[in-house]
Amino acid sequence: MIKVSPSILAANFLNLQQELDKIKTADYLHIDVMDGHFVPNITFGFPLLEALNRVDTLPLDVHLMISDPSRYVDRFMDFGARIIAVHIEAETHLHRLLERIKSRSVEAFVALNPHTPVNALESILPFLDGVLVMTVNPGFTGQKFISLAAEKIRQLDSIRREKGLSYQLAVDGGINLNTAPTVVEYGADILVMGAAIFRSDSPKEVIEKVKELKR
């Protein structure tokens, strides 16, 4: 079954509890952590995760769009992250960091910017729980879907089938009811969706439609 991870970046923060109530049928809550250095925006940090950890919410899917993620990853896991995605472009000792994440029984994902080729992951794929394919340039919500970047989902699905690997494929950026069928057809398992859910008239209906998609 296709899983949905609504991105809190697109939520109305003046009514956050109400926003969370709208997405209870989703599978994860996607948290975009940006530092203003690795990407040209600043978003959330530990206070938000600490607050979310005190309420009944979906499992936290934390996407670290930050430089030197190894400095901070343990604190995000302390606050209840169930998935941690780090960018291959931001981490020098990637294998070491992935093993550290997995040692805490947290799923370790690696994110790829649109310009980063799939072969950059060749030696690390057997150690991953998932790959997060960016179909926009990271940093801001509401951007246009980059179809060429989505082709990497198809490549990664082909590799996992050929090599008998079990990593999940997530996709983030410009995903809506128009683009979702394409990425699911390509092999995506988890769809990160922001504006398409939180700014719709019926977030629950959008989530249901995505979950009904078949390959």
As annotated, the active-site residues are 32, 172
Tokens 């079990």 belong to which residue? 166
Query: Which two tokens mark 109?
Result: 């994902």
CA atoms within 13 A on the CB side of 136: 19
CA atoms within 13 A on the CB side of 188: 31
Give the CA angle between residues 124, 128, 130 to the nearest 5°: 125
**Pairwise CA distance, residues 153 & 158, whole Å:** 9
**Pairwise CA distance, residues 12 & 22, whole Å:** 12
Q: Which of 120, 131, 135 has the alpha carbon at shortest distance from 182? A: 135
